[in-house]
Amino acid sequence: MYPNVKYQIYRLGLRQNSLARSLGVGDAALSKLINGYREPSPEQRRLLASLLQADEVWLFEKHEPVRRNGHNDKRTE
């Protein structure tokens, strides 16, 4: 998951569908990219950083979602 991408979209008041169009991908593809289900190509990373006016390294810091039990580690039975 790339929360910094989500944050920048919100901070700049952009709509995800217009950003997807500027990036040359569909809405679903951008959603998968933002949520970590798809890795962006190097060109997509550069373009998104430019469109979102942010540092590429910061923008694509990956964060794993926290599980409901409050742990990121796998549950042991």
Residue 77 lies in a domain: no
Quote the domain boundaries for residue 55.
3-59
Residue 75 lies in a domain: no
Q: Are 59 and 2 in contact (CB under 8 A)?
A: yes
In tens, the pLDDT along 37-54 reads 999 999 999 999 999 999
Instruction: Give the N- to C-terminal CA distance of the chain in Å, as an integer.
Output: 27
For residue 10, the domain's CATH number is 1.10.260.40
Task: Give how far the C-alpha of residue 38 lies from the chain's centroid of Cα atoms, to the nearest Å.
Answer: 9
Residue 37 lies in a domain: yes
In tens, the pLDDT along 14-39 reads 999 999 999 999 999 999 999 989 99
